[in-house]
Structure 1
Amino acid sequence: MDRWRTAAGRATTVPFLVRCGVLLTGLLATAVAWPLELLSNPRFMVFPVAAVIWAALAPRGRGGTAAALTVIGGWLVNTAGFGAPISLWRVLTLATLLYLGHTLTALAAVLPYDAMVNFDVPALWLGRALIVVLISAVVIVLALGLTADLGGDAFQLATLIGLAAAVAVTMVLARMVRRQ
């Protein structure tokens, strides 16, 4: 408790706000993903909220992963278990919030809680993240528009090639990380 009290006394504004951003994006993603029936029941929401708080308080650990997996689990419970329809706005909102939560967690992990940082640093960081989100959303909407037109064997082949390329890139990156 003394360490937490000392850290809270020495915390500066920007790292605190970045951690608040992690908390906010995690809570919003939880609200979008989980079914309303479970959101209103505190007994079911203790674990997802605790995971989001864990990610905000200790961004260097596994809290970010736990929070993201909890949100994804809520999405699966909502769509598969409760039969919620999959709508484009929910998918894009959830993807945006998960990406912003991920990138803010990465920024919070490298910012000590008592660092003196200009507001330009998180502003540029979020600006780049929002550009990525916007480009991704446009590509997704265009790809969904093309799926209605293409369809058939050619589209299935392109999907399989894309999945194989994604797996290959992941394997190469994992091997590069292990080398260092």
Structure 2
Amino acid sequence: MLTGITARAGHLRKTLSRATPVPIMIRGSAFLTGVLALGVAWPAQLLVSRYFVLIALLALWPALAPAGRGGTAVALTAVGGWLLDTAGFDSRIALWRVLALAALLYLAHTLTALAAVLPIDSIVNLDVPGTWLGRAAVVILISSVLIVLALGLTADLGGSAFQLATLVGLAGATAVTILLARMAHRE
């Protein structure tokens, strides 16, 4: 057992000695956005307690092993914290928190995906993460505008018209998902 631990420590030391700045920066950014997403989602009472260390350690998982399930665990924990805060602690749902949580979860996801495809010792020009984050910023901006417009429409619609629009939207999303799955399966 001790031999296995020493072998892993030696492998980790060798990997870290070969690491280059840009992949380390991307992994650090994935960790930071994960911590911020969890901080926005979870109740403030839990964040100022000793449980924050556990939350921060969870956010470290996708930074250390980006090709694993760490990103999903962080996202699900953030959603669970959001549900706990809004349903369990009766916190008011604020638009800025919804937008911040969505943006941070998307950034954490996309940075983890970039870290997963970049080896830790790769030499990468700063244009690569710059372009990647530029695309992410466009997605976040468009999504935020659409969320605000949709919330404005819900105030205007109300009642059965809103329920009908919701059902039509869900049916459309389901149809697009099925179509994309079939197209991917054909190839």
The offset of 1:91, in angstroms, is 0.1
The CA distance in 2 between the partners of 1:166 and 1:126, in whole Å, is: 26
**Unaligned ranges ≥5, structure 1:** none
TM alignment of 1:29-178, pairs within 5 A: 29-42=37-50, 44-178=51-185
Q: 1:46 to 1:169 in 2, by over 3 A?
A: farther
- 1:10·1:114 contact (CA, 8 Å) conserved in 2? yes
Please, which of 14, 19, 28 is the counterpart of residue 6 of structure 1? 14
The offset of 1:64, in angstroms, is 0.5
The CA distance in 2 between the partners of 1:107 and 1:179, in whole Å, is: 27
The CA distance in 1 between the partners of 2:71 and 2:83, in whole Å, is: 18
Residue 28 in 1 paired to residue 36 in 2?
yes
The CA distance in 2 between the partners of 1:178 and 1:84, in whole Å, is: 43
The offset of 1:172, in angstroms, is 3.5
The offset of 1:178, in angstroms, is 5.0
The CA distance in 2 between the partners of 1:92 and 1:162, in whole Å, is: 20
The CA distance in 2 between the partners of 1:150 and 1:80, in whole Å, is: 25
- 1:55·1:63 contact (CA, 8 Å) conserved in 2? yes
The offset of 1:14, in angstroms, is 0.8
The CA distance in 1 between the partners of 2:176 and 2:94, in whole Å, is: 29
- 1:48·1:71 contact (CA, 8 Å) conserved in 2? no
TM-score by length of 1: 0.93
**Unaligned ranges ≥5, structure 2:** 1-8
RMSD (Å), alpha carbons: 1.5
Q: Aligned residues: percent identity? A: 63
Q: How many residues align?
A: 179
- 1:30·1:48 contact (CA, 8 Å) conserved in 2? yes
SS of residue matched to 1:56: helix
TM-score by length of 2: 0.90
